[in-house]
Structure 1
Amino acid sequence: MDEGGNLNSLIVASNRVPSPDQGSGSQGGLAVGVMNALSRTDGLWLGWNGNTEEAPSRDIDHYDFDGVRFATFPMSVEQHRLFYIGYSNEVLWPLFHYRPDMIEYNREKERGYLEVNQLFADNIRSVMDESSRIWVHDYQLIAVGHLLRQSGVEAPLGFFLHTPFPPWDLLRILPEYENLLHYLSAYDTIGFQTDLDLYNFRDCMKRGIGAEIEEDGTIVFDGRRSQADVYPISIDIDTAREMAEQGENSPTGQRLKRSLNNRPLMIGTDRLDYSKGLYKRFQAYERLLERFEERRGNVIYIQISPSSRTDVEEYAALRTTLERVTGHVNGRFAEYDWMPLRYLNRGYDRASIMGFLRQSRVALITPLRDGMNLVAKEFIAAQDPEDPGVLVLSHLAGASRELADGALLCNPFDIDGVAEVMERALSMPLEERRARWQSMMTVLQNNDIHQWSENFLAAMNQNAEQRREDQ
């Protein structure tokens, strides 16, 4: 990984960091990729510890976990309200997921966002040295690079956006949208999940703040040169496969198998979030049972959706809606020995989830908009190659850009269309299932989570070196 330069002091900044209480096996895709990069360097991961205090604090807690050094700190209750609940999740999240109707903007939230981004920048400066390279993650921390540059930091800076990036006509709904583009121009390397996100970003830089886009894609603005490119995040294939096999054979996995009573399982496992398309997915399942009567009593759909962002009003309302629809579907179709829809508003450990995925004939990944969606890739890795399941995937998920040849793509807004795709997946013969699975597995093998982090860091080092030569 050191081909692009010295990586002996890599600092990763993200809103949240892995908890040593969870253990490495429970971490998701971002954590796996970053932990891999940091464990191979003298690196440090910096972020919020999840705690809130009455007054702002400058305290930083240092600890080691899984061979990686961490630096974490609290936020004040007010910082959390304005930065995390407010600007990050009531403004940027809906904006970046093409939901302008959900945006709740005010200037106080924007000030809170900058205050916490400044806190991150100050804490990064307190732990960095002259060899440091800094990799910032996701929409909560867009301004960190800009604030570091303002303070005189000239270290290599990289930023990766895990969500979609909106098109120009949507971005300019945001008051002071130009600020976001200014902030992003501070980074040497900016990474996106898909080619569509990259296109939108370059177009916004050009239209929004008059940046110049050179023939090789270099972005020139205010005397700085940045490189933006596509780095689709992926998973650790071997770990996912091992966990799926363990999960299937665990007491939890065997209990699920007995409860299915040889019926095919369709599964969805998503955070409780309006971007995931759960309400329309439930409607499509109801339509499946309406139109394809032979499925009644002969399929089970399990939806696992632990609550998230419970302080945000829209999320509580979504939970109530899904509970109501679950009752409606089960009340309409259930028999004394068959419950068609099992909606579980709770979390399970990752090994159990992977075991559930391995036992599923169909995975339902139908977000209304998603940056990538790693569950789609985990489902592929979890499958038995001799008897693999079928991936039903929204064409509005970033994963569809890589997995289109193997997945059954659908439009989550088309209820009848999704129901028809569900039926096609349930009816698919083994030979076709194997061919589609192999096509998607090859994609994963060519770009796993380790390749993702190596590619990004190599580009970040190269682009920073080019900037130094140009100065």
Structure 2
Amino acid sequence: MNRLVVVSNRVPAPVAAGAQAGGLAVALEALMERRGGVWFGWSGEITASPGPAKTLDSGRVRYATIDLTQDEHDRYYNEFSNSTLWPLLHSMPELMTFDRRNAQVYRQVNERMAEALHPMLRADDLIWIHDYHLMALPAVLRARGVRAPIGFFLHIPFPSADMLASVPEAGALVRDLLAADLIGFQTANDVENFTEVACRIGDALRMPGGWLNVGARRVRLGVFPVEIEAQEFAAIAEDAWRAAPTERLRRSLSTQRLILGVDRMDPTKGLIQRLAGYRRLLETRPDWHRRVTFLQIAAESRKDVVAYRDLRTSVEQEAGSINSAFSEADWTPLRLVAR
């Protein structure tokens, strides 16, 4: 069986079992434990002078990581990945910032990752690259002579051609992605958007069955929505139902209905809009006062990105405004847990 080599922006430390993790790590950890292979990416560490890749074997997985400098972290991760590409790919241009130097550092980090990964690769490996941080990597690996099969999966939406055109470097990243053999998306709409862009600026030709002809090569596009381990989630919910904090929550609610939201503190999650909808309910349906409580859990995320800090401030202000307007002595309509 071919060895699986997973490449992602961040590689979770194997000792951090049970720690808070992002959606990508949650989706991949169970697979890697079953399948085994190499998991390569950023260590999460910031250093003044990054050295060679570090490796750690745990079970069937070899974790291989590199460190970033502070400038790389700021420009590649905080700025271009999360302040340019993230809002661009979510079609939220009002949140987008752009600086050409950030785009250059983004590509430099992709090149440095390829430089560190290349010596570890075997000819028969299956290389699986994940998400918007590493859109340049397929082409960079090909330029280094890698001929092993490369798959790329985008965990977030892919926008229309007109939206993508708002960032000059985005077209080059589409062409970089076309160096992969298989490009996966969450929805059919994402595939259609990518196909349109690839044909318009990537010299690709649409073929039947989800294929693109790119010069002498063929690239396969596919829809692979990320699933969850349903049985594992059911077991967690069953355990939580019997836990002491859950019992305290039930007692505090008494006969009230509970509206529950659990999200990262992220502009794409619609937190402000959700609070506005709840305010509208309380304004128009006074018969629901003291009969419902909204518990919003918002895990802190990307604290170094201005848009995320601004969002937290706005969410906390709106939550305070709702409670100030509608609270009664024995009823708090909104509980916000942001940490």
TM-score interval, normalised by the smaller of the two chains: over 0.9
1:75-126, Cα deviation, whole Å (9 max, x unpaired): 0001101100111011100100111122211111011101111122122212
Which residue in 1 is equivalent to 2:217?
224
- Backbone CA RMSD of aligned residues: 1.6
2:127/2:149 contact within 8 Å kept: yes
1:14 pairs with 2:8: yes
1:37-57, Cα deviation, whole Å (9 max, x unpaired): 3334440111111111123x1
1:214 pairs with 2:211: no
Which residue in 2 is equivalent to 1:51?
45
Alignment of 1:63-74 (within 5 A): 63-65=56-58, 67-74=60-67
Give the deviation of 1:69 after TM superposition: 2.1
Deviates more, 1:298-307 or 1:250-259: 250-259
1:282-319, Cα deviation, whole Å (9 max, x unpaired): 01000001111121001110111122111111111111
3-state SS in 1 of match to 2:287? helix
Give the deviation of 1:320 after TM superposition: 1.0
Deviates more, 1:249-258 or 1:282-291: 249-258
Which residue in 2 is equivalent to 1:158?
151
What percent of counterpart residues are identical?
37
Which residue in 1 is equivalent to 2:167?
174
Which residue in 2 is equivalent to 1:446?
none
1:113-147, Cα deviation, whole Å (9 max, x unpaired): 01111122122212212221110000000111110
Which residue in 2 is equivalent to 1:96?
89
One-letter amino acid of the counterpart of residue 232, structure 1: P
Q: 1:321 to 1:36 in 2, by over 3 A?
A: closer
TM-score (norm 2): 0.95
Which residue in 2 is equivalent to 1:328?
321
One-letter amino acid of the counterpart of residue 58, structure 1: G
Greater strand content? 2
Deviates more, 1:117-126 or 1:188-197: 117-126
1:290 pairs with 2:247: no
2:131/2:154 contact within 8 Å kept: yes
One-letter amino acid of the counterpart of residue 303, structure 1: Q
Give the deviation of 1:21 after TM superposition: 4.0
Give the deviation of 1:176 after TM superposition: 2.9
The answer to which structure, 1 or 2, has the higher relative contact order (CA under 8 A, 6+ apart) is 1
2:301/2:308 contact within 8 Å kept: yes
Q: 1:29 to 1:324 in 2, by over 3 A?
A: closer
3-state SS in 1 of match to 2:304? coil
Deviates more, 1:172-181 or 1:276-285: 172-181
Alignment of 1:3-402 (within 5 A): 6-7=1-2, 9-24=3-18, 27=21, 29-55=23-49, 57-65=50-58, 67-346=60-339
1:397-436, Cα deviation, whole Å (9 max, x unpaired): xxxxxxxxxxxxxxxxxxxxxxxxxxxxxxxxxxxxxxxx
Q: Distance in 2 between matches of 1:331 and 1:23?
A: 40
1:29/1:234 contact within 8 Å kept: no
1:17-64, Cα deviation, whole Å (9 max, x unpaired): 223343157556533442333334440111111111123x13322223
Q: 1:85 to 1:29 in 2, by over 3 A?
A: closer
Q: 1:105 to 1:262 in 2, by over 3 A?
A: same
Q: Distance in 1 between matches of 2:302 and 2:200?
A: 34
Q: Distance in 2 between matches of 1:324 and 1:34?
A: 36
3-state SS in 2 of match to 1:270? strand
Q: Distance in 2 between matches of 1:180 and 1:161?
A: 13
Deviates more, 1:191-200 or 1:44-53: 44-53
Q: 1:275 to 1:33 in 2, by over 3 A?
A: closer
TM-score (norm 1): 0.69
Give the deviation of 1:276 after TM superposition: 0.9
One-letter amino acid of the counterpart of residue 212, structure 1: L
Q: 1:315 to 1:33 in 2, by over 3 A?
A: closer
Alignment of 1:411-450 (within 5 A): none
One-letter amino acid of the counterpart of residue 338, structure 1: W
Q: Distance in 2 between matches of 1:156 and 1:40?
A: 21
> Structure 1, unaligned stretches of length 5 or more?
1-5, 347-471
3-state SS in 1 of match to 2:193? helix
3-state SS in 2 of match to 1:152? coil
Q: Distance in 2 between matches of 1:335 and 1:167?
A: 47
Q: Distance in 2 between matches of 1:196 and 1:154?
A: 30
Q: Distance in 2 between matches of 1:161 and 1:264?
A: 37
Q: 1:94 to 1:26 in 2, by over 3 A?
A: closer
2:211/2:218 contact within 8 Å kept: yes
One-letter amino acid of the counterpart of residue 123, structure 2: E
2:52/2:116 contact within 8 Å kept: no
Q: 1:42 to 1:20 in 2, by over 3 A?
A: closer
